[in-house]
Amino acid sequence: MARILLVEDELQMQRGLRDNLEFEGFDVATAGTGPAGLEQILTGEFDLAILDVMLPGLSGFDLLRKAREANVRTPVIMLTAKGEEIDKVVGLELGADDYMTKPFSLRELLARVKAVLRRTESAWAADGPAGTVRIGELEVDFGAHTALRDGAEVPLTAKEFDILKHLWEHRGKAVTRDDLLRAVWGYEEEISTRTVDNFMLKLRHKVEHDAGNPRHILTVHGTGYRLVP
């Protein structure tokens, strides 16, 4: 039984979503404020978190940021009432796996929940013990989700591991930004590719000896990126 954390401050919506998720067979924990949600996601074990953006005490964006900084890999669906692209981009860049704009249908939410859980299960299954690969000065174990440089750990986020893994699987070949959005975020909708570019900038600072003159994560102009180990 998958365990879900629901952080929503509108009590009626929180109860309605909880009841329907439990009816579908999920074990649901709830929180009504940002700080309470952060405490739960940091200390509990969840298969998925559903976070409202507008929360008292701590926004959903800040909650997600702090969770990812603490290396919490729980998949996250963001709920936003604004529906603006900037909110979608910010959420994805912070490490969200999907988002939904209020108002939304319960059927669509349940479909998104099940889709994210399926993608997560598939990713974990594919992660199995594959040994260590070397990318420049970095030793990466995708199965263990560890990255070392000269024996010291380099802290990569869950999304950064996913991006690097996808690039490694297609090393030497050009990978488009749209392909990365689909493979890493499971995204089919059109959205600004700044999301991918911003992630690549951060990833280069962790992988490359000189991020300003990359030798391993190369830009393929007009297309995307290519990994040269």
- All structural domains of the chain, each given as residue ranges with its CATH number in brackets, are 3-125 (3.40.50.2300), 128-227 (1.10.10.10)
Higher pLDDT, 187 or 210: 210
Q: What is the spatial order of strands in the sheet that 48-52 belongs to?
A: 27-31, 3-7, 48-52, 76-80, 98-101
pLDDT for 85: 62
Across the range 18-25, mean pLDDT stands at 94
pLDDT tens column, 137-151: 899 988 788 899 988
**Rounded CA gap, 169 and 156, in Å?**
18
Check pLDDT > 80 for residue 190. Answer: no
pTM of the shown model: 0.65
CA angle 35, 38, 39 (to 5 degrees): 90
